[in-house]
Amino acid sequence: MQKKTRKSTARPTDEASNRPDLDAFRVDDAGSELTTNQGVRIADDQNSLRAGERGPTLLEDFILREKITHFDHERIPERVVHARGAGAHGYFELYESLEEHTRARFLSEPGVRTPVFARFSTVGGSRGSADTVRDVRGFAVKFYTPEGNYDLVGNNMPVFFIQDAIKFPDLIHAVKPEPHNEIPQASSAHDTFWDFVSLTPESTHMLLWLMSDRALPRSYSTMEGFGVHTYRLVNDQGDATFVKFHWKPLAGAHSLVWDEAQKLAGKDADFNRRNMWEALDRGDTFEWELGLQLFSEDDADRFDFDILDPTKLIPEELVPVRRVGKMVLERNPDSYFSETEQVAFCVSHVVPGIDFSNDPLLQGRIFSYLDTQLSRLGGPNFHQIPINRPVCPFHNNQRDGMHQMGIPVGRTSYDPNSVGGGAPKEVRVENGGFASYLERLEGDKRRVRADSFKDYYSQATLFWNSQSDVEKDHIVSAFSFELTKVERPEIRERVLGLLANVDATLTARVAENLGLDAPKGATSSTRNGKKNGKTASPQASPALSLADQPGSPKGRSVAILAAPGVDAKALATVKKALLAAGAQVKVLAPRLGALGRNGTAIAADKTIVTTPSVVFDAVYVPGGARSIETLAQSGDALHFVAEAYKHAKPIAASGEGADLLQQAGVVEGPGVLIEDAPELVTQFVEALGGHRIWAREAAAQLIPA
């Protein structure tokens, strides 16, 4: 096929172009008159129509009926999975043309900004659960491209529990609250989940990820994203390149610790989504770079794993991640329900130049997502909801159905036709029409799984080997916590049997915590299906660890503990430096009101008792004898400092502030800075960018918090 020069379809890069056009649907009630949904003005919205002052309400009260009927139907069925989420608007900007690999326009024109809407979510919990539970996180992005909507629907982990979509209902039934008592909510720490995975060895790799710090993201902005499956990019010549999608957070990838996550679930169940809402509301942005792992079919055949197996990742040592563009989220939704709740992502929403692989889990998702939206959003016209509408024109012969919002004109709703002049007309591939990748398929029609999918443990071992000592400690603790919640001993023993195929030390440590004997290392099927000449995977991959991920103080939250009589000059010096570095600062005091020494006007933002340490990334205690004397008499203030130390967060103090640290049991050492305010600023900002002070984690556990 001769390559055609494509006319640029670049959209303007003004603010309005960075989101779908929702203005026609936006409702502003300010200064308006109260009416029914049909526009009838309402004279009395306080009283129903009655037969007499104290008589029965009349059925003819159409105003009451309309209002109550709408209220009764305000809730739509929540998502079976990914029910609890938060979304934001933004744009994607391409760095370099990928025209060599794909005919997708939004990946071919550098500098063009494509509007996006992203939604982040937990998987297992209901809408009423907490943000910080141990769980996979959904990472879904809708690109409003000039050729139609493209949905990249992934997770914050690059692999999954199962290899075939036919097992997805079983997985979700197992991890959801147990059906006899609807307990526990948003937790995998119960018998049915571990029963299922202990009998499903293909889940082993994903279990390592789920028990790692990756399951506890500190913020959506510090969370990696992955497309999970292998997809295809197809160029103008019809040539295909396999691709794995990555989202790399520019703020660095960081996580909570388990004790912190549990406390946040009670103290601020909306922690992650509040963090994003407040950041965007004050004008900050959340940013990721889109990375691609590109490889040919010949490359795929040389790997010592199957690229169609969704329980496998491609180590970056084998295929580097090429960063090709940036996504910037910059605006909150106007309505949670209309946008975040009604946004409909479908794996089947692709544009010319992007196609599927034969990954059996992906193949099932192509069907499942569309089927789900038909049920949730009331029929086949969910694409007409404003948040789901493409920004490009769309025309077809589909008609009617529930919630049809278009008014088709003309006599024809079929193809081919002559009455309507043959419109809408098909579009040739060379002019932008979609065509699936030309792939030769042959084989017997069978229910079977390839031998190359039977390597259940080698990449679980790769993940374990790639973790730092601290991360390994956390994985051991997570397995131990979850399995001690399991009531049936045989389930715990089966899980240990899986782990015995991963690493002997991991298995022994978990077994000791469970009071069980570690099984002997099994002879696993790790190398089943492997042939000589394959490209061997590395024994460890640094990209799989969070330990050395670069960080930034931007977006981090710092608490300054103070009381009347605080050293206002020191407080102002440190606060100014933190704000200049992009951090967010809150002054906390035992009570609200004026603080400061010598009449300096300083006001507390929050009280210590209502704003716990777990919502902050670091703590600073300025001097001032009277301030420290007051704080030292507050058990909440002492607990605040001790808990921040226990969670390995940077802590700084100047002047008499050092006395409060001492009374809280915090001693000078890694990440504890005790100097005059001007001298500690640089070190404090640097420590804040590093996120945690893991060197002191073990010692910190000895301090009661």
Residue numbers annotated as active site: 82, 155
CA dist list (Å): 90 to 11, 144, 290, 334: 14, 11, 14, 13
H helices within 303-380, ranges in order?
Answer: 360-376
| DSSP output for 490-528 | HHHHHHHHHHTTT-HHHHHHHHHHHT-PPPPPP---TTT
Q: Is residue 282 helix, strand or coil?
A: coil
H helix and E strand count, the chain:
18, 18
Rg (CA), the chain: 28
Alpha carbon separation from 97 to 109, 147, 225, 241, 633 (Å, rounded):
6, 17, 22, 15, 62
Instruction: Say if CB 586 and CB 574 are below 8 A apart.
Output: no
Pairwise CA distance, residues 440 & 198, whole Å = 37
Distance of CA 93 to the CA centre of its chain: 20
What single-letter amino acid sits at 182?
E
Answer whether 98's CB lies under 8 Å from 233's CB.
yes
The residues, any chain, with a CB within 8 Å of residue 54's CB and separated by 6 or more, are none
What is the rounded distance in angstroms from the CA atom of residue 355 to the CA atom of residue 436?
7
Q: Within the chain, what is the greatest distance between any pair of CA atoms? A: 91
Distance in angstroms (rounded) separating the CA atoms of residues 379 and 227: 27
List of residues 6+ apart from 515 with CB closer than 8 A = none
Main-chain dihedrals φ then ψ at residue 295, nearest 5 degrees:
-155, 155
Identify the bridge partners of residue 672 per DSSP, sorted by sequence position. Answer: 651, 669
Give CB contacts under 8 A, 24+ apart, made by 492-501.
Answer: 492/194, 492/516, 493/519, 494/198, 494/199, 495/194, 495/197, 495/198, 497/198, 497/522, 498/197, 498/198, 498/201, 498/204, 498/207, 498/457, 499/204, 501/201, 501/204, 501/456, 501/457, 501/460, 501/526
Q: Which residues pair with 564 in a beta bridge?
A: 596
Residue 338 one-letter amino acid: S
SS3 589: strand
Count Cβ atoms within 10 A of the Cβ of residue 486 and give its class: 0-12 exposed, 13-18 middle, 19 or more buried.
buried
Number of neighbours of residue 397 by Cβ within 10 angstroms: 13
- Give the separation between CA 592 and CA 606, rounded to whole angstroms: 7
